[in-house]
Amino acid sequence: MRGRRPQSGQGPTGDRNRTLDRASGKADLAHLEQFVATRRGVEGFVEPRTAVTETTIVLVAADGEWTRRRIDGPGVARSLSKDLAVPVYDAQVTGYPQRMRDWNRDHKR
C-alpha cells in the first residue's frame, strides 16, 4: 500500500535478517532430545541458514535413521550437542554419512 512501510521481511527495506521459515521452538528441541534419548550412536550435522530456512540440525543415528529440526543458530547446535553428549559437524564441510543415504534408500515410501 502506498505510504506504508513494508512489514518485517517484505520488500527492499524489510528485515533482511529474516527468512521465510519459522523460528525454532520448544517442540523442536524436545524432539531432538527425544531422538537422542531413544537412539544410539547419534551425530549432529548443522546446516546453515538460507534465505528460505533457518539454521537446522540433522541428527543421524547409528542405523542411519535421521531427523531434521530448526535451531537458533550454530551456537545453539554446539551447546545442544554438548548437553546431549552428541558430536556435531558442519554439514557443508563433512557432508552426510553414508548410513543416512543407505537408510533413505531402504525406507523409500
Report pLDDT for 22.
53
Q: Is the pLDDT of residue 64 over 80?
A: yes
Task: Provide the strand spans (E) within 4-87.
Answer: 43-47, 56-60, 66-70
How confident is the model over 35-63, as a mean pLDDT? 94
* Grid cell listed for 39: 537412539
Q: What is the mean pLDDT of residues 42-59?
A: 92
Cβ-contact 35, 59 below 8 angstroms:
yes
Q: Of 2-16, 27-41, 92-106, which gets the smallest average pLDDT?
A: 2-16
